[in-house]
């Protein structure tokens, strides 16, 4: 199964970023998809603040509205919360073994 080969790499990738942050080598701004979708303007404000940038909330909302106005005009993937989890029914046990190794 592809998942058996990809997941160890993925876990190592995430852990390496967590380790770099914990050791003070990098300052990171962690986000997740569900939080971003729940409040896009607030997520953008958090990212801007992380980099020491500010912008009026209305300007942020206007840009979000413009980017979402014509779905054919952007190349963003249509993310769906929980889609990955629901498609892993057969691989879930493998993931759990990898995560707990």
Section 8-25 average pLDDT: 91
Task: Band the pLDDT of 70: cuts 50, 70, 90.
Answer: confident
pTM listed for this prediction: 0.65
pLDDT at res. 50: 96
Greatest alpha-carbon pair distance for the chain in Å reads 48
Range of the domain at 22: 2-72+79-100
**What's the structural domain count of the chain?**
1
pLDDT at res. 33: 86
pLDDT at res. 7: 78
Section 79-99 average pLDDT: 63
| Contact criterion met (CB below 8 Å) for 48 and 54 | yes
């Amino acid at each position: 199964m592809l998942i058996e080969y990809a997941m160890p790499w993925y876990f190592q990738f995430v852990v390496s970023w967590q380790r770099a942050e914990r050791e003070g080598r990098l300052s990171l701004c962690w986000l997740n998809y569900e939080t971003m979708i729940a409040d896009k303007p607030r997520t953008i404000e958090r990212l801007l603040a992380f980099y020491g940038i500010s912008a009026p909330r209305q300007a942020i909302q206007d840009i979000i509205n413009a980017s979402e106005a014509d779905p054919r005009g952007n190349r963003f993937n249509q993310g769906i919360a929980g889609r990955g989890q629901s498609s892993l029914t057969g691989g879930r046990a493998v993931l759990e073994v990898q995560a707990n190794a």
